Amino acid sequence: MIVITQPNATEEQIQRIVTRVREFGLEAQISRGASRVIIGVIGPEALLREKPIAAMAGACSVESREQIQSIATIVKESGAKILRGGAFKPRTSPYSFQGLREEGLRFLAEARAKTGLPVVTEVMDPRDLSMIENYADCLQVGTRNMHNFSLLKEVGRSTLPVVLKRGFSATVYDLIMSAEYILNEGNPNVVLCERGIRTFETAARYTLDLSAVPILKSKTHLPVIVDPTHALGLREFVPQMCLAAVAAGADALMIEVHDSPEMAKSDGNQALTPEIFAGLVPRLRAVAAAIGRAL
């Protein structure tokens, strides 16, 4: 497998990739071109194809320095590998909390410095991209922006990986085509995220389409992750669907966790408590082991 960096990637970015590759027990061979660097990833076939499943966990919104630091510490202790937190929030109502913007990004970066967890955060507007790039390790394009082609093209020019969430009324084909918009601009690091679609069913917030996982994996080479939190919208049922997502072949899970969900400024009803999250991780590991993977 090869990893091609963005043009003029910094030495720090290159070394970060190399370190990650080696953490997986793989060898990294670097070839430097005029503007891009190619990293050859060498190792056993099974390790190359099926990397450990990662838990991406954290708050829906960054609410304060203390809140995101506390949640980051909790999820790290329970085994999360990536910290999530929204600084720009796509809210249904313009009167709901819209996010702390740059202050939120700063708090996320501080939480990363404290825990070592890389940070994924949502970009809603191309005009905010360069600011977000100063703080984040991974960009997220949310469900409401999956069809925002100018945003897709803009993140396609970024050096950061992009989690692309499936539009809640988008088909698998639509999602793949939106990923193409990003890939076409030269960003090869796109992660597809199933997060629930709108159907006639109203028992949950959305309907989690787990069949999309094996289908996407058969149609693309891209990692496929699942966000059961936003799909269910109800804390009570999130753990079951996390387990099902791992069984279906998800490469990572995105899970909202809050230490006082009743006080959360967004999505409190669906956030796992730290205790539920801590109890879930060993069960995820057991399901991963049952299908020959690790978490």
The residue within the footprint of Mn ion, chosen from 57, 60, 141, 162 (CB under 5 A), is 60
216 binds Mn ion (CB under 5 A): no
Task: Show the beta-strand stretches assigned E in the chain.
Answer: 2-4, 27-32, 37-42, 54-61, 82-86, 119-122, 138-141, 162-165, 190-194, 224-226, 252-256
Q: Is 63 in the site for Mn ion (CB under 5 A)?
A: no
Binding residues among 259-278 for Mn ion as defined by CB under 5 A: 267
Helix axes 212-219, 172-184, angle to 10 degrees: 40
Please return the burial class of 84, using the count of CB atoms within 10 Å of its CB with bins 0-12, 13-18 and 19+.
Answer: buried
Please tell me whether residue 32 adopts helix, strand or coil conformation: strand
Q: Which residue is nearest to ligand PEP (CB)?
A: 142
Q: How far is the CB of 128 from ligand PEP (least distance, A)?
A: 15
Residues 249 and 4: their CA atoms lie apart, in Å, by: 25
Total residues at interface with ligand PEP (CB under 6 A): 10
Binding mask 60-79 for ligand PEP (x = CB under 6 A): x-------------------
CB of 110 vs Mn ion, minimal distance in Å: 21
Query: Given the complex with ligand PEP, which of 3 and 119 has the nearer CB atom?
Result: 119
The three-point CA angle 138-136-257 to 5° equals 75
Exposure string over 248-268, b if 16+ CB within 10 A, otherwise e: bbbbbbbbbbbbebeebbbbe
CB of 165 to ligand PEP, least distance (A): 4
Provide, rounded to whole angstroms, the least separation between the CB of residue 96 and ligand PEP: 12
Least distance to Mn ion, CB of residue 223, Å:
21
**Distance set, CA 11 to CA 6, 8, 15 (Å):** 12, 9, 6
Closer Cβ to ligand PEP, 7 or 90, answer by number: 90
Question: Per rule CB under 5 A, is residue 128 in the interface with Mn ion?
Answer: no
Query: Does 59 help bind Mn ion (rule: CB under 5 A)?
Result: no
Answer yes or no whether residue 86 interacts with ligand PEP by CB under 6 A: yes
Do residues 163 and 139 touch, judged by C-beta distance below 8 A?
yes
Spatial CB neighbours of 118, under 8 Å, sequence gap ≥ 6: 81, 82, 83, 112, 137, 138
CB of 57 to ligand PEP, least distance (A): 12
- Residues numbered 162 to 191 that lie near ligand PEP (CB under 6 A) are 165
Q: Tokens at residue 77, please?
A: 């202790």
Shortest Cβ 171–ligand PEP spacing (Å): 16
CA dist., res. 239 & res. 262, Å (int): 19
Site for ligand PEP in 212-241 (CB under 6 A): 227, 230
Which of Mn ion, ligand PEP, none has residue 90 at its interface (CB below 5 to 8 Å by kind)? ligand PEP
Contact residues for ligand PEP, defined by CB under 6 A: 60, 86, 90, 122, 142-143, 165, 195, 227, 230
